[in-house]
Structure 1
Amino acid sequence: MGQVLDRIEQYADELRAEGAEGDKLMRLSATSVRRLRESGAIRMLQPKAHGGLECHPREFAETTMAIAAMDGAAGWVTGIVGVHPWELAFADPRVQEEIWGADPDTWVASPYAPMGVATPVDGGYLLNGRWSFSSGTDHCQWAFLGALVGDAAGKPVLPPNSLHVILPRSDYEIVADSWDVIGLRGTGSKDLIVENVFIPEYRTLSAADVMDGTAVRRAGRTETLYRMPFSCMFPLGITSAVIGIAEGALACHIAAQRERVAVTGIPVKEDPYVLFSIGEAAAEIAASRAALLENVDRFWDSTEKGREVSFEERAIGRRTQTAAAWRAVRAVDEIFARAGGGALHYRFPMQRFFRDAHAGLAHAIHVPGSIFHASALTQLGGEPQGIHRSMI
């Protein structure tokens, strides 16, 4: 990780400057993409056999935070695109070779949400659908897409059976005008359309098998990294990006307030109320960071010892991860409200961090309702069912 972070820090000024450009382009700039590739950030969870680094997930989280503190969109793309090599590590070796054989820096987009239907045919599936929120997709050559298995008429079968399907860029259309939003604009999280595309069986994974660990055991992977629970690994990059964005907002705020004089003529550094808000926000953001990193360390230690992580532990872990994101963004709200009118100007990055932080909370992985319900019910001896077991 040290080498990756060292490279990132060399490009810090460029990534910060390119954040404004990405906001206008509604995708990462070519410079930002080049710097992410050169740093190795997207290969941190990638198998060494395919040019990856196989880093501890804590290192991946810390690197994502650092990038997001420079530019929220770059951090978000790192956190999402950077986690896909982790799952690809236990996909069929044939698709791993197809993706990384010629270029280990090939990026894979998503989303995993089952927005399409995969109808069984001889040798595989026929895929149709439209997917939203494919972050960083302009810079990716493959995609992981979620799909429900369909019947002969192309309707999802019941009970639902979800797949993660893997397909090359030639098999899907990126909808160019589908991303015009208020926050995380630079992520270029556009829609994808697939029409009657054949997906061979070996390019699919059962979503249930991925989430419960069956897929990695079937693939024969024994590394601690790849035996980590999906419900810890998948949210990790996303929440790390949100916390990094909050850290970036705090750094902007402190820099702006250092010499600021309020309309009362009193230097801000002499205003005890502003000082309190800065101190409180800094403590809350630091607590969010510590909670997320401790969470992944604890899961790593259990996995490394060969102990199965229980549903209750996973539910509490998701609660910790979700709460960390909300705590960090609430802290951003506190400092933004006291940042003065200058923070509203587009020429200053504070407003972009504010917008990006709130956009990050909109991701489904940060919806607290069912997660808090499941963790509390389990601790009380109950057995969550249905949606309350989703993504845990």
Structure 2
Amino acid sequence: MAHEVLDAIGRRAEEIRALGPVNETLGRLDDQAAKVLRESGAVRLLQPAAYGGFEAHPREFAEAVMALAALDGSTGWVAGIVGVHPWEMAFADPRVREEVWGGNRDTWVASPYAPMGVARPVDGGYVFTGRWQFSSGTDHCDWIFLGGLLGDAEGRPVQPATSLHLILPRSDYEIVEDSWDVVGLRGTGSKDIAVAGAFVPGYRVIPFAKVADGTAAREAGLTNPLYHVPFSCAFPLGITAAVVGIAEGALAHHLAYQRDRVQITGTRAADDPYALYAISEAAAEIGAARAALLDNACRMYDAVAAGREVTFEERAVGRRTQVRAAWRAVRAVDEIMARSGGNAMRSANPIQRFWRDAHMGLAHAIHVPGAVFHIAASAQLGMDPPPGAGRAMI
């Protein structure tokens, strides 16, 4: 059962927490950190039961990611990113699922989905070339989802653009070393990926439009409501859950630090009403971010479980809720960080690492508010959504 995952995380919490600085130093998850995460079962929460998965409620997936991220931001982030890929793999051709999980149910699949490659049609499939950034946890993955554009016979993207998700084994792509030098989430090892003319058979390709509009899940004959939750809810969920969990971790470290801290004025932080006010305000904001994100996932799940299609307006408002949850949580972290004093910025103090991780997570494209807020407001006003790339993720 899914609750076993949270229990497993709790049992190994101190180990996960202690490996956080090690992950950061390595620039990827330490092998032991990846082993602990794999053994927790968190990445299998959305995986089909036929391949050892839990087919858990999206809320349970988000809660596990938050629990991990509160212990170590990078571990939680990898769980959130890699953990959503089994959800889409459930839509793939049965031959792909067997290739990926037939011999090992704990095989991990990386990404990114950004269409940074071009797939040229050939007999039986495509010849695929491109380069991608931000492949989180990729050192510990044996397969990958890569976004690409359908090309013509000369390898030029066709118009209008047609986005594809292509699935490749580790032998068909290169992980570009020394391509992940950043200020936050260093332990995620989100390196570049390069593909040079790999052949991808047609059965390992999923049109993104079919994933986005739910056709892929219906064609796969899936009955669990989990797989009919909109992509625009399921995909961002693990990412934003990681950010909220990181904020919870930052708050926990701030509380531990402030409990015995004496300010330069000689006043104990625990006796400073302004410090206490900041703690309460931040805790309330982070709690509200958590509640909003989980409620949104539950609403989407309940709608599809009742056999109802989620409307465009509901999807747009849901995306707004998800984006706002991330911003709300990180702004709260800024408030407590500003009241933690200069010693909080020392490398040995974990608060600064959680603060950096939170901002790195907020920088993910899924958290850019402009187009999402514009589209959500337009939908609620009964207006046609504006054209542009932002609509693709609603």
Would you say same fold, with TM above 0.5?
yes
TM-score, structure 2 normalization: 0.99
> How much identity, in percent, do the aligned residues show?
65
Distance 1:167 1:157 in 2: 22
How much does 1:374 deviate? 0.3
Amino acid at match of 1:21: V
Q: How many residues align?
A: 392
Q: Which residue of 1 aligns with 2:288?
A: 287
How much does 1:154 deviate? 1.1
SS at match of 1:159: coil
Distance 2:104 2:368 in 1: 36
Q: Which residue of 2 aligns with 1:375?
A: 376
Amino acid at match of 1:137: T
Q: Which residue of 1 aligns with 2:96?
A: 95
Runs (5+) with no aligned partner, structure 2: none
How much does 1:114 deviate? 0.2
SS at match of 2:339: coil
Distance 2:158 2:60 in 1: 40
How much does 1:241 deviate? 0.1
Amino acid at match of 1:391: M
Q: Which residue of 2 aligns with 1:217?
A: 218
Instruction: Map 1:1-392 onto structure 2 (within 5 A).
Output: 1-387=2-388, 388-392=390-394
Distance 1:288 1:135 in 2: 24
Distance 2:134 2:341 in 1: 33
Amino acid at match of 2:18: A
1:74-116 deviation per Cα after TM superposition (whole angstroms, max 9, x unaligned): 0000000000000000110000000000000000000000000
SS at match of 1:370: helix
1:121-153 deviation per Cα after TM superposition (whole angstroms, max 9, x unaligned): 111000000010000000000000000011122
How much does 1:356 deviate? 0.3
Distance 2:32 2:71 in 1: 14
1:305-337 deviation per Cα after TM superposition (whole angstroms, max 9, x unaligned): 000000000000000000000000000000000
1:137-188 deviation per Cα after TM superposition (whole angstroms, max 9, x unaligned): 0000000000001112211111100000000000000001100100000000
Decide which moves more: 268-277 or 313-322: 268-277
Distance 1:260 1:20 in 2: 23
Distance 1:9 1:191 in 2: 32
1:208-246 deviation per Cα after TM superposition (whole angstroms, max 9, x unaligned): 110010111111111111111100000000000000000
How much does 1:341 deviate? 1.4
How much does 1:264 deviate? 0.8
How much does 1:386 deviate? 2.5
Distance 1:79 1:54 in 2: 15
The CA RMSD measured in Å over matched residues stands at: 0.6
Distance 1:60 1:101 in 2: 23
Distance 2:353 2:282 in 1: 18
1:9-46 deviation per Cα after TM superposition (whole angstroms, max 9, x unaligned): 11111111111011010000111101111110000000
SS at match of 2:120: strand
Decide which moves more: 147-156 or 200-209: 147-156
SS at match of 2:393: coil
How much does 1:385 deviate? 3.5
Distance 1:36 1:203 in 2: 27
Distance 1:51 1:72 in 2: 26
Distance 1:180 1:137 in 2: 15
SS at match of 1:27: coil
Amino acid at match of 2:41: G
Distance 1:204 1:152 in 2: 18
Amino acid at match of 2:391: R
How much does 1:294 deviate? 0.5
SS at match of 1:324: helix
How much does 1:351 deviate? 0.6
Amino acid at match of 1:120: P
Distance 1:374 1:57 in 2: 24
SS at match of 2:332: helix
Distance 2:43 2:26 in 1: 22
Runs (5+) with no aligned partner, structure 1: none
Distance 1:390 1:101 in 2: 33
Distance 2:301 2:130 in 1: 36
